[in-house]
Structure 1
Amino acid sequence: MAHIQTLLNHSVGFDFPLIQAPMAGSQDHRLAAAVAQAGGLGSIPSAMLTPDALALQLSNYRAMTDRPVNVNFFTHTSPLPDEAVEKTWQTMLSPYYDEFGIDSTKTMAAASRLPFDHAMADVLDAFKPEVVSFHFGLPAPDLLARVKSCGALVMSSATTIEEARWLERNGADIVIAQGLEAGGHRGHFLSNDVLDVSAQMGTFAFLPQIMRAVNVPVVAAGGIADAAGVRAAMGLGAAGVQIGTSFLLCHESNASPMHRAALGSEMAVHTCLTNLFTGRPARSIVNRIMREMGAINRHAPSFPLATAAIMPLRTAAEAQGSMDFSPLWAGQNTSGCQAISATELTLKLAKGFS
């Protein structure tokens, strides 16, 4: 199994196959650059950015380092709002609205999560990132061709063996094996029921099976938090590792003070997949809304529309110092979280490659 390192130009400074997982809303170019300066592959999440905002992120990144960068996008299909679904969802949330004295007819605009499109491809044309990664599959063939014409390697997440095979057939150069332990949104895309995760496995059960199923390099992701975890994944034959949660307490992270507090508390022992915050399963630290409504609720609007109704509750609760309605994205293993620079943490993790 070829290592990612052999797929990249050594002259641009990619020292070892450690990828910082893109974490939309919790990081920007600063975290990516700090990881890159230590020799890993920094990632810039773009699903919540406009093309102009992405161009600024990449400009700032290039000003900080000339090392490789991974730019990450979502490839979901944007759903049409369904008035009946929205009304049902607001009715279910109405007791909480009443608790905070919120007018349920005046929901706040939600942070958008947009799929990759030609406007974003224009930005890639201008900056030519070394790696482009996708979540929820791959973009349409014409868009994927544009990415490859920039010279970028293409990575995408698989949560099942079937997805890994699909990604290889449809043009992915590298498959990320996203184990069930991983924090944030699940990358699954082939199932008709996005709430069904019964076919998904833990990282170290999943990794060997995916490697037997495809011929492209496979990156291990989920539950890897320290050098020992890196060593274990590489020992199973992974081409590299992708790590996200461990970077959330780093100085360069944009995680909120409340999110940081949760990661450093006993709350972090309890994580669960939930669709309450966005409409799509994502692993979060368990809080009040998840306990009371159930982590998975089939009445939640489709991704990312569920965010609109939950946002006023989050805003009101956070104003009172409460995390009861906030998405506290985290993987099952928060033991690697450290309040140090991302550069220092990357160097610690890199010891797993020696």
Structure 2
Amino acid sequence: MWNKTSAAKKLGIEYPILQGPFGGNLSSVKLVSTVSNLGGLGGYGAYTSTPHEISELFRQIKASTTKPYNINLWVSDSDAVDGTITDEHFNRVKQLFRPYFEEIDAELPVKPVPFKARFENQLEVILHEKPPVFSFVFGIPSQDVLEQCRRLGIITAGAATTLDEAIALDAAGVDMIIASGFEAGGHRPSFLASAESSVTGTFVLIQLIKEKVKAPVIAAGGIANGKGIAAAFKLGADAVQIGTAFLATDESNAPAIHREMLFSDAAKTTTLSRAFTGRLGRGIANRVTNEMLHQEINFLPFPLQSHFTSHLRKAAIEKQRWDLIYLWSGQIAPILKHRSASNLMKSLIGETNQYF
């Protein structure tokens, strides 16, 4: 059977189908439990959560499912030196974005306070609560942390956007490697080279990694149906991670307009941009991403750019100006069919069965 892979066995799940762990408050306990209860691995992106919020998250997930699940964090959660930027840099960004704020009568934000990295404090909760699976992006935790995970029985999975990143994760002893192709929606989690230079496609990346790495490979990016799952497995993947298709379901915490746009003609055109967060990510192309091409040098470093544009986002939502809001989406969105996570999961399993 196609589902009896080494990854499925190690993860303790019936079907090697992982739900992408969305950050930015787009994940939900309901989606996690739905996927896990149907034999897959639900995932929750908690990189913006406080340690207290993560503790509460564990309580809610445990009350919703007895099956394995995944909690995801960002190893590197800031690109700002000392967590801040100069007044000159901030004023430059204000002038660049001023026309958008003025167009919708929104007040320009003040300079954000210095950002303090949260990863170490979040890790303490992970090690205390011991989730079945701990996945991470934008780097590799220290050897001490990985060893603690091994002792505690926590399975680790790290994201790689290049072969070199996969080799580094494997050398560190990470249990599984998520091959994150450039087709995927959301941030590009590159950590050894620039995200702009780390744009290998999923189905090439699977093959490259399988040639050099022994750890099970999880294919992520450009997969939304049984045909995609079968193709990934034929190329050597041991599991798949599906993001956009699950993000579009009613069980996700994405706003209604975001979910609706994923089923619209607008989703035919996605782009990679740093304009809204300061880190490169794929979403539905809009007016801002088009007009801000080649302005990357002027953007604030992550997450200060996110803080700045969050004010524009809030005002744009109130005015229903969707052309000023960046909605995460992978390139596969135009083939999406399911608005129910349960129906999507059952379809993925049924369709994949037809190919094996």
Same fold (TM > 0.5): yes
Structure 1 unpaired stretches of 5+: none
How far apart are residue 338 of structure 1 and its match?
4.0
Equivalent residue number for residue 59 of structure 2: 59
Within the alignment, does 1:29 sit opposite 2:33 as a pair?
no
Equivalent residue number for residue 161 of structure 1: 163
Pairing 1:40-79 to 2, within 5 Å after superposition: 40-76=40-76, 78=78, 79=80
Counterpart of 2:297 in 1: which secondary structure?
A: coil
Q: Is the 8 A contact 1:3 1:17 kept in 2?
A: no
Equivalent residue number for residue 228 of structure 2: 229
Q: Is the 8 A contact 1:157 1:177 kept in 2?
A: yes
Cα distance per residue 1:288-341 (max 9 Å; x no partner): 111111276222111111112212211111111111222200000014534533
How far apart are residue 109 of structure 1 and its match?
8.4
In the aligned structure 2, how far is the partner of 1:213 from the partner of 1:243?
A: 24
Pairing 1:238-249 to 2, within 5 Å after superposition: 238-249=237-248
In the aligned structure 2, how far is the partner of 1:21 from the partner of 1:73?
A: 12
> Which moved further from structure 2: 89-98 or 26-35?
89-98
In the aligned structure 1, how far is the partner of 2:180 from the partner of 2:299?
A: 24
Q: Is the 8 A contact 1:275 1:296 kept in 2?
A: no
Residue type matched to 1:95 in 2? P
Equivalent residue number for residue 119 of structure 2: 116
Equivalent residue number for residue 297 of structure 2: 298
In the aligned structure 1, how far is the partner of 2:267 from the partner of 2:188?
A: 18
Equivalent residue number for residue 16 of structure 1: 15
Equivalent residue number for residue 340 of structure 1: 339
Counterpart of 2:331 in 1: which secondary structure?
A: coil
Residues 8 and 314 (structure 1), Cα distance of their counterparts in 2 relative to 1, 3 Å cut: closer
Equivalent residue number for residue 94 of structure 1: 98
Residues 314 and 55 (structure 1), Cα distance of their counterparts in 2 relative to 1, 3 Å cut: same
In the aligned structure 2, how far is the partner of 1:105 from the partner of 1:250?
A: 33
In the aligned structure 2, how far is the partner of 1:335 from the partner of 1:97?
A: 31
In the aligned structure 2, how far is the partner of 1:58 from the partner of 1:338?
A: 31
Residue type matched to 2:132 in 1? E
Equivalent residue number for residue 153 of structure 2: 151
Residue type matched to 1:55 in 2? S
Within the alignment, does 1:85 sit opposite 2:121 as a pair?
no
Equivalent residue number for residue 180 of structure 1: 182
Residue type matched to 1:102 in 2? A
Residue type matched to 2:131 in 1? P
In the aligned structure 1, how far is the partner of 2:113 from the partner of 2:167?
A: 38
> Which moved further from structure 2: 290-299 or 164-173?
290-299
Equivalent residue number for residue 38 of structure 1: 38
Cα distance per residue 1:209-259 (max 9 Å; x no partner): 111021111111100010111111111111100001001221211111221
Bigger fraction of residues in helix: 2
Counterpart of 1:311 in 2: which secondary structure?
A: helix
How far apart are residue 6 of structure 1 and its match?
2.4
Q: Is the 8 A contact 1:36 1:65 kept in 2?
A: yes
In the aligned structure 1, how far is the partner of 2:68 from the partner of 2:129?
A: 11
Q: What's the Cα RMSD here?
A: 2.2
Counterpart of 1:196 in 2: which secondary structure?
A: helix
> Which moved further from structure 2: 60-69 or 136-145?
136-145
Residues 279 and 89 (structure 1), Cα distance of their counterparts in 2 relative to 1, 3 Å cut: same
Residue type matched to 1:99 in 2? E
Q: Is the 8 A contact 1:310 1:325 kept in 2?
A: no
In the aligned structure 2, how far is the partner of 1:82 from the partner of 1:108?
A: 9
Q: Normalising by structure 2, what TM-score?
A: 0.91
Structure 2 unpaired stretches of 5+: none
Within the alignment, does 1:130 sit opposite 2:118 as a pair?
no
